[in-house]
Amino acid sequence: MSNLVITIDGPAASGKSTVARLLAERLGASFLDTGAMYRAVTLAAIEAGVDMSDEEKLLGVLETGEFQFVVKEGKMAVRIGGVDVTEWIRRPEVTAKARHIASSAKLREKLVRMQRQFAAGEEKIVTEGRDQGTVAFADADVKFYLTADAGERARRRLAELRARGGGEPRPSDGLGESFEQIQKAIEERDKSDEDRAVGPLRPADDAIVIDTTDLGIEEVVEKVLRCVKEKCLKRKSKMRWFRFARWCCRVFCNLFFRIQVYGRENVPDEGAFVLVGNHQSYLDPVFCGIPLERPLYFLARDSLWKNRFFGRLISSVNTIPVKQGKADLSAMRKVIGKLKEGRGVCVFPEGTRSIDGRISPFKPGFGLLCRRGEAAVVPVLIDGAFECWPRHKKIFSRGRIDVCYGKAIPAGEVANMSDRQLAELLTDTLRRMQTKSRIKHGKEPYDY
């Protein structure tokens, strides 16, 4: 799993490839040029004589082609079937036809998956393209959006062509002869990138936008590096704070409760997982989270943020606010993003604390998060929290709490279940775990 993901998006010739490469070099990070992936599939399709408007055939090209993307001497080398095509994918015909690949939802989905797989194997990565901060790595640590006015970008492209071709660009370069034609071609690519329905070119809401029109490459790299360092410092102190907060919670729980933990080994050491628990008290997120070394993300109703101090406090320990009474797509996207990064999320699908200690049937909505986040699902039973802090009491009392992590359901199995099936299976599993736990502690089991 990557420890640092930096995304750089932006239009053609905005300088993002060069900046991304130099930044990766300075940070000792890997570098992913996602445009090269779109170009490689385009080249393979052209070579295979595939009709560029036939999406299924293009998909076939992507699935059967042996594409290899490797970083070589700071540059991304591309091989198809073992042949180095790094230079070929820059051919004007490829540039012009890449939009067919870029506008297909199915192809984009597959390419984004490949990009995430690539990143998952790297400790630090700088990835550049059009949708890296908005789609592929919506939860990246630092996001940039580089832009420049079209005239300046055309000037840069012209200089690049002259340097490469050793003279004036020819019509066969595909970009036209004149500066005006180059600018027009760039503007057309911008429009096609911005207007497509899937993964359109736009800055992520939390991206740092840098206009490079009047800046040299070195100045941009320096600026970007400064932002990354600031963000990393903030991240480090956030991590330290999280560990401290968890330590405080552990001390607090040891003072007031006797917590017994079972099945900790059922929680995966790595990869995405959703911890699905029964909800008995306000302290359940703490009970589920403190036995684990891996940090968890939580969801909570947004009204808890009305008190600004409390809101900041729970945000600082990975709690994501969810609007009540409606489908909060932005919160869902955040959670799916965390899962796609391979993190753990804890949910309580009863929706509210139990009124009598019983487990009510789970609301099926969480199934979508698990499937879209390609996460394993781990049931977690909390027993004893209702006795310590039932919802009708203002303050908790001391007592024994059992936290039992059940067997994980692998992501592959979750993918084949409907939301309802998953919700029923987990309700049933947790009720059985609860019955067993209550009998073990000499408590009357609930009648379901």
What values do phi and psi take at 380, rounded to 5? Answer: -135, 125
Regarding 99 and contact with ligand C5P (CB under 6 A), the answer is: yes
Regarding 39 and contact with ligand C5P (CB under 6 A), the answer is: yes
Give the nearer residue to ligand C5P in terms of CB position, either 113 or 440: 113
Look up residue 184 and give its two tokens: 């027009």
Give the nearer residue to ligand C5P in terms of CB position, either 192 or 360: 192
Give the nearer residue to ligand C5P in terms of CB position, either 40 or 322: 40
Which residue in 351, 323, 329, 325 sits closest to 427, CA to CA?
A: 351
What does the alpha-carbon distance between residue 430 and residue 383 come to, in Å, rounded to a whole number?
Answer: 10
Regarding 130 and contact with ligand C5P (CB under 6 A), the answer is: yes
Give the nearer residue to ligand C5P in terms of CB position, either 6 or 288: 6
Regarding 291 and contact with ligand C5P (CB under 6 A), the answer is: no
In sequence order, the 6+-apart residues with CB closer than 8 A to the CB of 270 are 1, 342
- CA quadruple 201, 203, 208, 211: dihedral positive or negative? positive
Regarding 131 and contact with ligand C5P (CB under 6 A), the answer is: yes
Regarding 371 and contact with ligand C5P (CB under 6 A), the answer is: no
Regarding 102 and contact with ligand C5P (CB under 6 A), the answer is: yes
CB of 136 to ligand C5P, least distance (A): 7
Give the nearer residue to ligand C5P in terms of CB position, either 133 or 285: 133
Regarding 154 and contact with ligand C5P (CB under 6 A), the answer is: no
What does the alpha-carbon distance between residue 387 and residue 399 come to, in Å, rounded to a whole number?
Answer: 8
Return the range that interacts with ligand C5P (CB under 6 A); candidates 123-131, 142-150, 255-263, 388-396.
Answer: 123-131
Bridge pairing between strands 67-72 and 75-80:
antiparallel
Which residue in 397, 373, 362 sits closest to 277, CA to CA?
A: 362
What does the alpha-carbon distance between residue 404 and residue 440 come to, in Å, rounded to a whole number?
Answer: 13
Count interface residues toward ligand C5P (CB under 6 A).
15
What does the alpha-carbon distance between residue 399 and residue 280 come to, in Å, rounded to a whole number?
Answer: 14
Regarding 156 and contact with ligand C5P (CB under 6 A), the answer is: no
Taking CB under 6 A as the criterion, the residue among 4, 5, 27, 38 binding ligand C5P is 38
CB of 117 to ligand C5P, least distance (A): 15
| CB contact at 8 A, 241 and 295 | no
| CB contact at 8 A, 284 and 291 | no
What does the alpha-carbon distance between residue 50 and residue 228 come to, in Å, rounded to a whole number?
Answer: 42
The site string for ligand C5P over 171-210 (x = CB under 6 A, - otherwise) reads ------------------x---x-----x-----------
Look up residue 401 and give its two tokens: 């709490």
Chain residues binding ligand C5P by CB under 6 A are 12, 34-35, 38-39, 98-99, 102, 129-132, 189, 193, 199
